[in-house]
Structure 1
Amino acid sequence: MNHVLHGLAANPALPSEPVDRLIAVADPDLAEALACRPDLSHAQVRALASRFEEAAVRLAYEGRLSATDVNPAVQPRAALALLEEGTGRPQWARLFAADPLVESREKLAACPDLPRDVAAALATDPEVRVVAELALWTVSDLAARLAQHPHTEVRRAAAANEATPPTLLAALLTGEGLPAARSCPVCDRETTPFVHDPHCPDPDCELPPGAACDGSHESAAHDIQEAALRNPATPAAAAVFFADHPSVLLRQELAARPDLPPQVYARLAEDPVPWVRARLADNPAIDEALIRTLATDRGHDVQRRLAHHPLLPLDVLAHLASATRLGSPLLPRITAACPAEVEGLAASPDATVRMLLAQRRDLPAEIRDTLARDPDAKVVKSIAPHPGLSETRLRAMVERHGPRVVAKVAANPDATPALLEHLARHRPPVQKAFREIARHRHATAPALLACLTDRQARPIAASHPALPPAVIVELLADDNWQVVEAAAANPSLPPASMLELVP
């Protein structure tokens, strides 16, 4: 791979004429890079698409190719991409419905607004995978028909389709009211009864670990139920009976549903498996009483997930902050806190609570500045990237807390050029700070030259337009290909150098 050309292909300052030359000499990898340029003319798009179908597919998905630009006989995948985007021609669908390539028919089956005759043909396709793909995406009436298909893979796809009528989703979930399935992925391949070895030595085997069939297609039936429970269109009245199902996976899916009666959530809160209770803790539909119950649950991941609940009472948040390792995320309940609640959180005696509040980037100036003076370094690290902090305030953070806060101060969008140069000279050096400085819009040439001394910051600094042009040219011969590509993509690379590099 020519990394210089790949960098140039991404360079926004590259003139149009050298782009034409790159298109003319491109290989498939370079064509992919060129297809990402937002400034390609329509003529350049057509030229690139005519040479490389992978690039044509990308351009089709991005809406930069139209049906008049594509010949489905020459570039079938690009034509299928346009059909998937709803901009292909209906006659193409009829062409692909008769395509001998299964992959083309399968791709077609996922396209919206298929002509009825095409959908009907795909519904009787001899390849199950084509019919299953149709069942996953088709409209209600055909989904209802495919929900009763004799193969379990098609039924599983219909169970995941939100357009499948609720009565049939309930039937797929319970198994009642449908004709018995006649085949599944296991009995298609093996003589039953059969249980697939979880440690199967065959690298080409397509059966999942533990897949089993004794004539009742048990593992496939389980997969259908899992898909139906995950489907929000499945009636809750049918789903509630799975609260005591022996399958942990099914109880997990049930615990995530937001449409269950309170008594079912209460039953799931007593589930013996922590994974089920952790999924329940994520559920936005559980009430405050259940939130408080789960807040005392020491099962794996329950409290951490509960901390992200949008309706979490703030006193419970304070408890969770001290009871479990949350890291420093911006929690939904913190985001939703009203002004009075923000003041209360800022005054919390728990530094972790103050740190979590400091993740917000819209705090009132007085609270922002109060948190910037916090005695705890983790609070200061959290508030340091907040916009609006003065250079004096940012420098005071570094003087008080040293290397612990340098990288976060460097990430502040209002950090001045002088401050960034000061941080780049900090002793001891802070490697994470170099990366933040290297991508900062206010970084100066002296600061960026310091960043070039750090292995991880070097590729980032090489792409910064404030880097001196002579240095950018030198970096084109760097030992690190990432640095070479970044330098070639730098818009401050001298135009004469760009022209010299293009074949």
Structure 2
Amino acid sequence: MVAFYSSALDGVAANPALPTPLLLRLIAFDGGGQGPPFQALHRPGLPEPAVAAVLTHPIVDTRVHFATSGQADAGQRARLADDPSPEVRAAVAVGPEWTHDPRTKVGPLPDAVCRRLLDDPEPAVRSALLHSRHLAPSFLVSLVRHPDPAARRAALRVWDELTADERATLLDDPDREVRRPAELCACPHDARLTAALLRDPAVRPEALRRGLLGRADAEGLLAEGVHLVELAGNPSLPADLVDRLAVGPDDEVRLAVSLRPELSEARRAAIDFTVAPHVTKDVDWVAAGIDDPDVLRRAATSAHPLLRRAAARSPHLPAGLLRLLAADEDVIVRTHLAVHHRDTPEEVLMSVYARLGGTFSAWMATGHPRFPREGLAARYADHPEGTYRQLAVRDPAASPDLIERLSHDPVVWTRQAATRDPRLPLPRLLEALTVPELASSAGANPALPPGEMAGVMDKAGVPA
């Protein structure tokens, strides 16, 4: 297969204007044993005839790719749960590992399908299911009394949704690998349990970070001088011991103290701590209140950059806090807004685009619903940097002549952006199909005539 026709075929597979008959022809392709192009299986909104063809495709990798597609809905993927290949069933069980948009949530498989997968004779399928990030809480709750300890451990992921009786069952589990993590879940409200966990070196740091500390234990741990970062973040640490850690010699410990939720802004500002310019740190109380307006207000209005960075990761920011953080001087705050919030202002998106460049900026320009379009041609068509010239292609007012000019740009990313645009004059589009670095973009252009798409398939060896 000539290389650029293979590349053009990948583009055609992703082309949103690909007619269903050609899509079905492409999906039936064995690809020399590799199956049809990846792009054909990860298209959004596959028509039912195409889905049916994928489900019965003779090449296992084809069914695996569809089972892990972030574009397929859970009901479609669930139809592969009884596939004869354990590899396919494991792919269904674990689900999509990535999506085109990090703000998109993957729907969970139906509970009944999950139960079938958990009873699968292949251990790899059962393990894949229990490691999936897409399980419904209702299914996880149902695992509390499952005979498999690994399943009971998975139920701990929804500890806060369990009844008192269900929690007690897990705390009394005969398997230590279930019982220990359950105790860690319970220790924030149980000083006696925390004291017992502190005697186990394997879980001591976690128990120290989360557990309910008695006064004597807290003083003893401070005197030992180990795991002080975890101790500094413990919610139950007495106030006078917090004060002692706040003036200790270790900068990392002082930083941990500065993130405590009960501190006033004045008290926080009085602590001598250092925040690296590009560091983002998980802050437990902000993450737990990611949709709580009061928690978000406290973090977003703080002078502490790590708290504002943590708040900016919430997709639930109220409009006022969004405006406040959009004006923040901290570049990481604005970057988090651009990634996580659909209503991020255009000027913030543009500033993040300018700072990051490369693949991330390309994703932002094409994937963020508020990334600007109008006026980009006038502003950027002659910009000295190719990263900006490709923005001109997004402008609805860009002329076919401009699109053609940009398809000859010195920077390949700009040439490819222009080649994907349906305003590109047809003669140049057909020419681009034969240019190796442009063939894929030309194949993906919605203005490519169906006859030309079929011609690409012919030349790439796809049977009619």
* TM-score (ref. length: structure 1): 0.57
Equivalents in 1 of 2:174, 2:180: separation in Å? 11
Q: Match for 2:49 among 30, 43, 62?
A: 43
Q: Which amino acid aligns with 1:13?
A: A
Change (3 A) 1:3 1:147: farther
Q: Which amino acid aligns with 1:276?
A: V
In the other structure, the counterpart of 2:21 is 17
Equivalents in 1 of 2:200, 2:395: separation in Å? 58
> How far does the alpha carbon of each residue in 1:164-218 deviate from its partner, in whole angstroms, 9 at most, with x for none?
54578756643269xxxxxxxxxxxxxxxxxxxxxxxxxxxxxxxxxxxxxx863
The count of corresponding residues between Structure 1 and Structure 2 is: 381
> Would you say 1:34 and 2:33 are equivalent positions?
no
1:278 CA displacement: 3.2
In the other structure, the counterpart of 1:193 is none
In the other structure, the counterpart of 2:406 is 450
**Structure 1, unaligned runs of 5 or more:** 124-128, 178-215, 362-367, 369-380, 387-410
> How far does the alpha carbon of each residue in 1:276-296 deviate from its partner, in whole angstroms, 9 at most, with x for none?
3334445555321223214xx
% identical equivalent positions = 21
Q: Which amino acid aligns with 2:139?
A: D
Query: For the Cα contact (< 8 Å) 1:281–1:291, is it kept in 2?
Result: yes
1:48 CA displacement: 0.9
Equivalents in 1 of 2:237, 2:157: separation in Å? 25
Query: Relative contact order, CA 8 A, sep 6+: which one is greater?
Result: 2
Equivalents in 2 of 1:76, 1:133: separation in Å? 19
**Structure 2, unaligned runs of 5 or more:** 96-106, 287-295, 339-344, 352-369
In the other structure, the counterpart of 1:103 is 124
Q: Match for 2:263 among 278, 286, 290?
A: 286
In the other structure, the counterpart of 1:408 is none
Q: Match for 1:76 among 89, 96, 103?
A: 89
Larger C-alpha radius of gyration, 1 or 2? 1
Change (3 A) 1:35 1:256: farther
Q: Match for 2:428 among 437, 461, 471?
A: 471
Query: For the Cα contact (< 8 Å) 2:246–2:257, is it kept in 1?
Result: yes
Change (3 A) 1:269 1:91: closer
Equivalents in 2 of 1:466, 1:84: separation in Å? 39
The two structures, once aligned, show a CA RMSD in angstroms of: 5.4
Q: What are the equivalent positions in structure 2 for 1:318-397 lying under 5 Å apart?
A: 336=320, 385=350
Query: For the Cα contact (< 8 Å) 1:460–1:486, is it kept in 2?
Result: yes
Q: Match for 1:63 among 63, 67, 74?
A: 74
Q: Which amino acid aligns with 1:43?
A: P
Q: What SS class does the counterpart of residue 103 from structure 1 fall into? A: helix
Change (3 A) 1:302 1:488: closer
Equivalents in 2 of 1:305, 1:118: separation in Å? 35
* TM-score (ref. length: structure 2): 0.61
Q: What SS class does the counterpart of residue 56 from structure 2 fall into? A: helix
1:269 CA displacement: 2.9
Q: Which amino acid aligns with 1:54?
A: V
1:15 CA displacement: 0.9
Q: What are the equivalent positions in structure 2 for 1:167-182 lying under 5 Å apart?
A: 173-175=194-196
Hey, which bits of structure 1, 4+ residues long, moved more than 6 A? 114-118, 236-240, 257-261, 302-306, 329-335, 381-384
Q: What SS class does the counterpart of residue 299 from structure 1 fall into? A: coil
> Would you say 1:244 and 2:203 are equivalent positions?
no
Q: Which amino acid aligns with 2:450?
A: P
Equivalents in 2 of 1:465, 1:254: separation in Å? 59
> Would you say 1:92 and 2:116 are equivalent positions?
yes
Equivalents in 2 of 1:30, 1:239: separation in Å? 65
Query: For the Cα contact (< 8 Å) 1:144–1:165, is it kept in 2?
Result: no
Q: Which amino acid aligns with 2:109?
A: E
